[in-house]
Structure formats: C-alpha cells, structure tokens
Structure 1
Amino acid sequence: MVKRNLKIYFRDKASVFFSMLSVIIIFALYILFIGDSVNSGLKFLPHPNRLMRAWMLVGMLVGMLASASITTSLGAYGVMISDRENKAIKDFYSSPVSRRQVARGYIVTGFIISIIMSIFTLIFGEIYLGLAGGAVLDIETLLKLFAVIVLSSFASSAIASFIISFLKTNSSYSAASTIVGTLIGFLVGAYIPIGSLPDNVQWLVKYFPCAHPCAHPCAHSAVLYRQLLMKPATKANFANQPASVLKEIREMFGIV
C-alpha cells in the first residue's frame, strides 16, 4: 500500500507542485517583500542588521519547513480521497487486507512524503542561505533539524489524517487544501512575527488546533526550528543586554 501510494503521488507532478506551492509562495514573499519590512526598533543592538538578516533568512527557512510538513502530508492524502471517489478503496476492503492495514498505508505514506519533501526544502533553503551569505549549518544542527522534521511530520500527518477522514470528494479536499495553503504562513509566523499578532490570534495559534488542521503542530515545530537556527544571532546581539530585553525579543520573533 505504501509503495503504491508513493508511486501515485510522485507520478502526479501537478499534485507534488501544488502541495509545495505554499513553500514556494513563502520563499518568493521573503525575497520580494518581507525581508525588508521588519527592520525597526532594534537600533540599540550592536548588530541590528545582522539580527534582522538572520531573522529574514531563518524566518524564510522556518516558514518553508513548518508549512512543508503539513501541506505535503495533505497532498499525500489526495491519493486516499481519489480512491474513495472512484470506489477503488472498496477493492481493498474486499481483499484479504484489514481496514486497519489500509488506513495505516495511507498514514505512513503521508508521514514519509512529509519527511522527504521537508528534507528537500531544508536542502534548498540551506543552499540559498549559503548563496545569500548566511551561516552554513553544522552537522549537529542539521541532525537536530532532522529530528524536528520527523517530529513535525508525524504530528502534521496525524492531524491531517484526522481531518481528511471527514472528506469524501476531491472538491471538498481541494477546498480544505486551499484553506490550509492560505492560512499556513500566518499560523507559523512566516509572514508576521507571532509577537506582532493580536493576543487572541496568538492564543489561536498556540492552543486551538481545531480552528485550523495544522495550527498546533506547525506553530510549535516552527518555534523549535527558530530555537536552533536563530541561536547564533541572538547570542551575538544580546550578550550585554538585560535578560528582560532578550525575553521580549524571543517572544516577539516566536523563538519561545
């Protein structure tokens, strides 16, 4: 089942592209607009441009990674929706394979695809960071990022499978995917620092995953990504600053 589902997903190039569309949009927006839009209020720091450049580059990579885990796992579940709509799933149920095994095949497929596409996103983002003059990540950080990718992919695939279980047609699936792709950048703090959002929206992102199928795992995985990727920049800028200033900045940029 997993091998079959993987072949079907990667054979449909359009499906792969659209499952990565949110990642592409986040990358394009950072390059064109967002990178220069959050550059005030940090003049008291010894290296404010360095911090903002780190936030821009890291924010782009974090947004791409956090969104990739949910959008690609949702894309993988498109195979299950198609099987439901064309009644192919009834063939599986009539075969000597239990329904639990069939369901497990779809879930594992979503998990594997989420990991594969997130790793691809990380490689692409790391290449861009290097070309843009950002810090090249060391092996230890990369291994920690891989661990977060696995955790984020598992959480995203699990919640996506629950949401997908209520969808029966390709039209409803497409609508759900569109909503996810539209909101994901805001919910992971890719477009706007989480600390700049209204308090009620911050609570929505942190504690109300039912409002959006990916709000909980993606928002928190984004925090883990930022903790790993922004550590050098914050350490260089806040070595001589009061702890309260560091705490405020970490909350503003969604590092905690």
Structure 2
Amino acid sequence: MKSLIERNLRLFFSSKGKVFFSLLGALISFVLYLIFLRQNMQESWSAIKDSKRILDYWLIGGTLTVTAITTTGGAMNNLVSDRESNRLADLVLTDTSYTKITLSYLLSAWIIGFIMQGFMYAIMQVYFMIQDKISFDGIVFLKLLGLMILSSLLWSAINLLIFTFVKTSDTFGKINTIIGTAAGFFAGVYFPIGAMPTFAKSLIKLTPAPYNAAIYRQVMMNKELNHALKGLPVDKILNFKKSMGIIIGKGFSTETFNMGITFVIVIVLILGFYRYNKNVVLNKV
C-alpha cells in the first residue's frame, strides 16, 4: 500500500496542472477578497478595533476550508483515471488487496490536502504579515495543524464517496469544477452567511463546510475579536459572530460534533458501497 500511496502522490505533484487547478478555488477566494470584498467589509466593520487584521483571519479560516475541499477532490483524479483505463482492475491482480488499494487513494488525498492547506496558509500568513502586520502565534499554528489534518481526512472521505461513482475523466472534471466553484459559497468566503437568503443559509448548514470554516475562524479570531468587541452586550456579540460564520451552532464543540457526525456517516456510506464497487472491478479482471 505504501508504494501505491507514493505513486498517487507522485502522479499528483508531478503535474503542475493538477496542483494549480486543485488550488484554483482557494486562490479565487483569496484574490476576490483582496480585489472586491475587502474594502466593503472593512467599511462595514469600521467601528471594530483592528478590523483589518481580524478580517484577514476570517478570510484565512474560510480559504483553508476551500483548500481542503478542492485539493482532496483533485487528488481523486487518480482513482477516476485508474478506473477509466482499467488500471484499477490490473492493480487488483497484484498482491495488494482491493481494500488497501481503496485506502491508498484515501490516504494519498489526505496527505495532499494537508500539504496544500499548509502551503496556502503560508502564502496568506506571510502576505498579511507584510501587508497588515498580523502576528504569528505558535500555539494557534499548532492548533491549525491539527485542524488541517482533521479537515483533510474529512474531505478526503467525502470526495472518495462522491468520485467512487464517477467513471470518466470528463465527468470528473465537470463535477470537480462545480465543487470548486461552490466551495467558496459553502465555506462562507464569498459572502458572509448573515448576508445570504434564508434558503441558502439552510442549505449551506446541511454540509460540513461552514462548520469547518467556523472552527478555523474560532481558533484564529476569537481572542482578538472578543477583545475588539469588549463592552458590547453578549447577544450582540453572538449575533455578529453568527452572521459572519464564526459560529454556526453553539460554538466550537457543536461545530466539531457536526463534523464528526458527518465523517461517521460518510464512512458508513463508503463501507456500504464498498462491496458493490469491488464486485464491479473484479468482474473486469
């Protein structure tokens, strides 16, 4: 299985196109914020102390979620390509079991998602350190590394479930484009959740994306935001955090619980469809 993981990683990182397009959704959210959204949001936050730096953290949290979604999805190109070319059936003929082959796609996507989140974080952190003088907190960074690992695992499992039914590279490209485009909306990066229509809010909350982004934002923003909002009534602070997607449920524990439940459901569904997919592959041997 180790050799298969190394193969998947090599195939992904050896293609500059795969790497770039897997990051495209995150790069778009970053650039859109800098060019179009930043000025308007700063004006609406003008009454908040250090609003510029707090907004930077807000963007980083949402963009890391988008990165986890799109890069783990891009990593599943190997799975679809192997199925389309019948290479997956050939791999089953080796000593490696079908279970290990499936796990190799999951684990390689997990590693890719973690690495690419770290890469995007480094770009954004350095840029905002130079531009807005935001600080680097080692404790927060360690917490973020843990969240990157968990986020990558969650979205690797979700994307494995989605793309396990995709049989051609053409279909993969179309679905992956849709996911990459929608990721910024579901993570609440293009628009704060409070600015969305009621139906859109309800739809977005059915996915783990806003909860994932909220956890990142709570880790990065809460200390400075609570200081900036000090003196305001608790209900106003809570309403503000909910409107900006910093809190979706009742806080960190609720967001973590929702992500955990999603992960369990996805794993159960993967196991449920495992036998069907295995039989399809074996019939081609």
Normalising by structure 1, what TM-score? Answer: 0.91
| Structure 1 residue aligned with 2:78 | 79
Q: Report the residue type matching 1:6 in the other structure.
A: L
**Paired-residue identity, %:** 29
| Structure 2 residue aligned with 1:234 | 225
Deviation at 1:39, TM superposition (A): 4.1
Contact persistence 1:6–1:109 (CA under 8 A): yes
| Structure 2 residue aligned with 1:185 | 184
Deviation at 1:236, TM superposition (A): 2.5
Q: Report the residue type matching 2:101 in the other structure.
A: V
Q: Per-residue CA shift, 1:36-56, capped at 9, x if unaligned?
A: 12245556x462xx22x1343
1:246 to 230, 234, 237: 237
Q: 1:103-122 alignment to 2 at 5 Å?
A: 103-122=102-121
Q: Report the residue type matching 1:188 in the other structure.
A: A
Contact persistence 2:210–2:245 (CA under 8 A): no
Deviation at 1:84, TM superposition (A): 1.1
For 1:40 and 1:135, the matched residues in 2 are separated by 19
| Structure 1 residue aligned with 2:164 | 165
Deviation at 1:60, TM superposition (A): 2.4
| Structure 2 residue aligned with 1:62 | 61
Contact persistence 2:69–2:180 (CA under 8 A): no
After superposing the two structures, state which structure 1 stretch, 107-116 or 125-134, moved more.
125-134
Q: Is 2:20 the counterpart of 1:20?
A: no
| Structure 2 residue aligned with 1:10 | 13
How many equivalent residue pairs? 244
Deviation at 1:59, TM superposition (A): 2.9
Q: Report the residue type matching 1:59 in the other structure.
A: W
For 2:132 and 2:81, the matched residues in 1 are separated by 44
Deviation at 1:146, TM superposition (A): 0.9
CA 1:185/1:46 → structure 2, altered by over 3 Å: closer, same or farther? Answer: closer
| Structure 2 residue aligned with 1:195 | 194
CA 1:248/1:134 → structure 2, altered by over 3 Å: closer, same or farther? Answer: farther
Contact persistence 2:81–2:169 (CA under 8 A): yes
| Structure 1 residue aligned with 2:35 | 32
Normalising by structure 2, what TM-score? Answer: 0.82
Deviation at 1:92, TM superposition (A): 0.5
Runs (5+) with no aligned partner, structure 1: 210-215
Measured on the aligned residues, the alpha-carbon RMSD in Å equals 1.4
Q: 1:69-148 alignment to 2 at 5 Å?
A: 69-148=68-147
Runs (5+) with no aligned partner, structure 2: 248-285
For 1:55 and 1:170, the matched residues in 2 are separated by 41
Deviation at 1:114, TM superposition (A): 0.3
Contact persistence 1:54–1:233 (CA under 8 A): no
For 1:123 and 1:39, the matched residues in 2 are separated by 23
Contact persistence 2:53–2:132 (CA under 8 A): no
